[in-house]
Structure 1
Amino acid sequence: MGSRMSWEDLWPVLLNGTLETLYMVGFAALFTVLIGLPLGVLLFVSRRDGLLPLPKINAVLGAVINVGRSLPFIVLLIAMIPFTRLLVGTTLGSTAAIVPVTIGAFPFFARLTENALDEVDYGRIEAILSMGGNLWQVIAKALLPEALPSLLAAITLTVVMLIGFSSMAGVIGGGGLGDLAIRYGYQRFNNEIMFGTVAILVLLVQGVQMAGDRLVRSLAHRR
């Protein structure tokens, strides 16, 4: 690939990179929510004054999540190479990149989930408990439904972060727009590729943020 490309050559390359990024972000977002949501709920209910006081477990879990949030993602990418190879058999490509991207994101989402549950009116929780409800009923009928707008806002913020993470995964050959920008835009000085990837990433972030904000507002108005 030369330093310049025609539009006929440019669009298929950018389209492929965009699809790989969407694939990475989509699955990483799914796994991030599946891991981070229950961890966030556990953080909330296991507090010393929580619904299921487990202060030691809460302290350990909180420390692990704080460590995960504090690690620079580029360091995590490199540190996760052996685990990624063990899990998926390779460290290259979009599928391999899902592993470190998810691990980098779920501690962040778990903490956002805990903060979202903090906003739930405790009167609703007490009402369910006074009627003989158990912990799972409180979670299913009060905590998660009442916190849904905040949780959707947290998911939106997390997906935006995942888009950035997926781009950084290009440093280790993770595929997608980040890999495209590094291999062709930066290393081969191809300005068309560089500008194209940046423009698409900006559009993706804006699209996700606008859609998420609209959904959150819609739920808030219904409530």
Structure 2
Amino acid sequence: MSGIAIAAGRSGMVLAGQGDWTVLKPMLFQSIAQTLEMVFITLIVGGAFGLVLGVILYGTRPGNLFENAAVYRVLDIVVNIVRPIPFIIFLAAMQPLTIKVVGTSIGTMAAVFPMVVMCTFATSRLVEQNLVPVDSGVIEAARSMGASKITIIRTVLIPEALAPLILAYAFLFIAVLDMSAMAGYIGGGGLGNFAIAYGYQKFDPTVTWTAVVIMIVLVQVVQGIANAFAKRLLKRQRS
């Protein structure tokens, strides 16, 4: 009789687990979609703004295309102030501005706005650091041929640094994915919220590790694609 009770208990646990996943599975897919939405909007918008800001940082350095010590110093200080702030604190600090811009401090778009701002500053520094090693001789050669500063940036500077920039943006993808995991604190959803709400808080490690594995797979896929593109570009530049 006790054996039947145990068996029944085990059967009930199995049924409960299956029942949970019939509910959790669509929520998991929704969380993946929310994460991808947050990450790609942030990378596209913040990555574009960061590229522009990074080029300005590089260009205003002493001896560069449009050298301006005052502008460089101000931008350098602002970037250095924003970048070290932990994103969860940055979310809270940006809340008043987020409400003014987005109209709410809750939801996916309310998470995307501070993510874009943080991504812009993080990208700018990565771009600057990857433009600095570009051979100044190539830039001087373009200058001597009468190329404008914008033309030099578009046809010489960016193409010369493209391979390391691709790898930098792959690294940025990981950072943005990490930021998206914190979006659950303001109702942004995503895999981070899924792992915490339905895994950690409900003592279900299967749910937590499912979210972790999916994030690892996303990172590996993006990193693999970036490595392949960067390798091809480097081969083309050397040949």
- What TM-score, normalized by structure 2, do the two folds share? 0.87
Displacement of 1:154 in angstroms is 1.1
Report 1:181-196 matches (<5 A): 181-196=195-210
Report 1:118-197 matches (<5 A): 118-197=132-211
Q: How many residues align?
A: 222
Deviations along 1:153-205, one digit per CA (max 9) or x if unpaired, are 11111111100110012122221111112222222333332121111111111
Q: Which has the higher contact order (CA 8 A, sep 6+)?
A: 1
Partner of 2:102: 88
Partner of 1:64: 78
**Cα separation, 2, equivalents of 1:203 and 1:113:** 26
Is this contact kept in 1: 2:47–2:119, CA < 8 A? no
**Cα separation, 1, equivalents of 2:203 and 2:17:** 6
Displacement of 1:4 in angstroms is 7.4
Report which stretch shifted further, 12-21 or 206-215.
Answer: 206-215
Higher Cα Rg, which structure: 2
- Unmatched segments (≥5 aa) in structure 1: none
1:189 aligns to what SS in structure 2? coil
Moved >4 Å (runs of 4+) = 2-6
Partner of 2:212: 198
- Unmatched segments (≥5 aa) in structure 2: 1-15
Percent identity (aligned): 38
2:83 aligns to what SS in structure 1? helix
**Cα separation, 2, equivalents of 1:127 and 1:5:** 68
**Cα separation, 2, equivalents of 1:70 and 1:180:** 27
Displacement of 1:22 in angstroms is 0.3
**Cα separation, 2, equivalents of 1:47 and 1:77:** 31
Displacement of 1:3 in angstroms is 8.0
Letter in 2 for 1:124: V
Displacement of 1:6 in angstroms is 4.2
**Cα separation, 2, equivalents of 1:67 and 1:26:** 25
